Chain A
Amino acid sequence: MSQKQSFKKDIESARRDFPVLSQLINGCPLTYLDSGASAQMPQSVVERLNNYHAKEHANIHRGVYQLSERATQEYEDARKKISEFLNARKAEEIIFTRGTTNAINLVANSFGREFFKAGDEIIISYMEHHSNIVPWQMLCEQLGTKLKVVPISDVGELDMSVFGELLNERTKLVAITHVSNVLGTVNPVNEITAMAHDCGAKVLIDGAQSAPHMPVDVQDIDCDFYVFSGHKMCGPTGIGVLYAKMDLLNRMRPYEGGGDMILSVSFDKTLYAEVPAKFEAGTPPIAAAIGLGSAVDYLNNIGMSVIHEYEQSLTKYAMDSLREVSDLKFFGTSPTKSGVISFNVKGIHAHDMGTLLNDYGVAVRTGHHCAQPVMERYKVPATTRASLYLYNTRDDIDVLVESIRKVQKLFN
C-alpha cells in the first residue's frame, strides 16, 4: 500500500480523466450531478473495455485455447480486485451479478426462499430503494413471511430505538441501505449488524450508494451480504456484485440453472458447481466484469479515503451554497450525510426544475428516485436530486446554484 502511495493520483485533476464531461449541452459545459443514478467512466476504463473487445474476447471457463484462458484470467482477476476492495476473506465470496437489483433478488430467492418460512420476519427501512423493498414483498407473498419497516426521522435518520423494538427471534433478515439514495444519510451499519446478529438474524447491506464513495470493509461491518452496482462506481452497466459469507453461499441454492453452474449433468441427477460458479449460470458479462476491475484500479489509485474526504468537503460546500437559495427546502439533513442532496424550490415542480436546469447544461435527477415511501414520508410527489462524485468541483456547485436562481427568476 505504502509503496503505491507515491504514484497516487491527485483528485483535483481527476475531472480530466472523464471524456464525457468535456462536452457542451445546450451550449453550456455539462455539469453532471447525477452520479447517484449512474457515474461516468474514466478514459482508462473506456480503454480497458475497448481493448478487451478489440483484442481479448473469448468465452471463459471453457476453452483450452490461449484467448479463452486469458479472458478467464482477467475475469477472475477482476473478482480478486473486488474482494480486496471490500476486504472480503476470499475472492470466491464475490459473486458477479447484473447489478444491485439482481444481487438482492438472488439473495431473496437463494437464501430467503430456502431458509425462511411463514411467520418469519424481514426488517427493512423507510428509506430503501424499491430494489430493496419489492424482492422482499414478493418473497413475503410466496412464503407468508412478514415485512417490518423501520421509520425515519425528519432529518432523515433511521429510528434506531424502533429498530431495536422490531428485532426479535422471528427476525430472519435485516436488509438496510448503507447510504440513502434520496436523503444521503449514512446509516450505522456496524451497529445495525451487531444488533441483528444478537437476535440471530442475518444482515444484507445495500451498498449501491456507499461502495463508490467510501472505504468499505465487509469484515469490519460483519454483514452477511453486501451488494452494489458497477455503473455507479466508474464501471460499465450490466455488472454488479454480491458479497456473501462463504458458509452462507455454500448453504444457499443456485439462483439460476444453466451452463457454468454445474459439476455434472445427467437426467438422474445434476451436481452443482462450487461457489462462486454455482451462482453464475450462463456466459456472464465478461467485459463488464473486467471493466469493473479496471474501475476499482482507478478508484484505488486515488484512494477511497481521499475520495470520501473530498466528497464530504464538497457536500458541505454544496449544502452551504444551496442554503442561501430562497425558498429551497432540503430532504435529508443528517450530520452523517454523503453527497446525495435532495431539495425542492417552492412553487416549482421538480420536473420543471430538472427540465429547465438542462437548458444550462446541468444534469440532475428529478422524480421519486425509486423510493416512493420516502416521498410519502415527506409528503412530496418528487424532489430534485444533485448527487456528487469525485470528478465534481465547486464550480459545478456554483453553476447549479446560479442556474436554480435563473429558473426561480423565470417563474417569478
Chain B
Amino acid sequence: MSSKQIYQEVILDHCKKPRNWGKIDNPTHKAEGINPLCGDHIWVTMNVRDDTVDDIQYEGESCAICMASGSMMTTKIKGGSLVAASKLIDDFRALTTGALENTEEKTLGSLSIFSGIRDLPSRVKCAMLPWHTLTAAINSQGEVSTEGDHDPVPGSGTDK
C-alpha cells in the first residue's frame, strides 16, 4: 500500500476531524508526550473511575500520522477498562513493528491501517507517540519522550 493510500483512507480524515480533541479539566490521569526529532508535542488526559476510562481527550501539535494515531486511539480506549487499554497498547506496538500475527491484526479493526507504517520505519515513532503517552498517563509518569525509545526499528529516525 502506498503512503498516499494510507493517508487517504484514514489518516487525513482523523487529521481534519480529530475525535475527542482537547484537554479535560482536572483529569484523574494525564501525560505529555514529546518527540524532539520532529517536534511533536501532545497531551493525553483521562478520567478513570473504577478502572474504566470514562473520558479521554487528546491534543497537540504533530505530524498527520501522530495526530491520526492519537485520534483513533481515543475512540478505542474510551469506555473500556484500563486492562483492555494496556492490551491494546501492546497490540498496537506489535502491529507497527510487524510483530503481530495477521489473525490478531483483525481484532484491531480500523487501527490495522497502521500496519502500513512497518514499511516506513522512520515513522513508527510518530504513530507510537500517543500510545506511549497513554501508557505514561495510565502510570501517571507525567512527560514521556520518544528519545531513547527501544521499540521502533533500530536506528530509525536518526537525524543527520
Contacts and interface: CB of A to CB of B under 8 A. Distances in A.
Nearest to A37: B160
Contact of B38 (A370, A381, A410): A381
B159 A410 contact: no
A382 B39 contact: yes
A382 B12 contact: no
Given A356-B4, A359-B3, A349 B12 contact: no
Given A352-B63, A410-B12, A359 B38 contact: no
A367 B39 CA distance: 9
B123 A369 contact: no
A355 B3 contact: yes
B69 to A, nearest CB: 13
A8 interface: no
Interface in B27-45: 37-40
Contacts, number: 53
A369 B159 contact: yes
B102 to A, nearest CB: 24
Interface size class of A (residues with CB under 8 A): 20 to 34
A7 interface: no
Given A349-B64, A355-B3, A356-B7, A370 B160 contact: yes
Given A352-B65, A359-B4, A367 B38 contact: yes
B147 to A, nearest CB: 12
Contacts of A380: 39
Interface of A: 26, 37, 348-352, 355-356, 358-359, 367-370, 375, 380-382, 410-411
A352 B64 contact: yes
Interface residues of B, number: 20
A411 B8 CA distance: 9
B137 interface: no
| Listed residue (A37, A348, A352, A410) with the most chain B CB atoms within 10 angstroms of its CB | A352
B126 interface: yes
Contacts of B40: 381
B2 interface: yes
Nearest to B40: A381
Given A349-B62, A349-B64, A410 B39 contact: no
Contact of B37 (A348, A356, A368, A410): A368
B63 to A, nearest CB: 4
B84 interface: no
B3 A351 contact: no
Contacts of B122: 351
Nearest to A375: B39
B10 to A, nearest CB: 13
A359 B126 contact: no
B63 A359 contact: no
Contacts of B39: 375, 380-382
A375 B8 CA distance: 29
26 contacts: A37-B160, A349-B38, A349-B62, A349-B63, A350-B63, A351-B63, A351-B65, A351-B122, A351-B123, A351-B126, A352-B64, A355-B123, A356-B3, A356-B4, A359-B4, A367-B159, A368-B159, A370-B159, A370-B160, A375-B39, A380-B39, A381-B38, A381-B40, A382-B37, A382-B39, A410-B12
B99 interface: no
Nearest to B39: A381
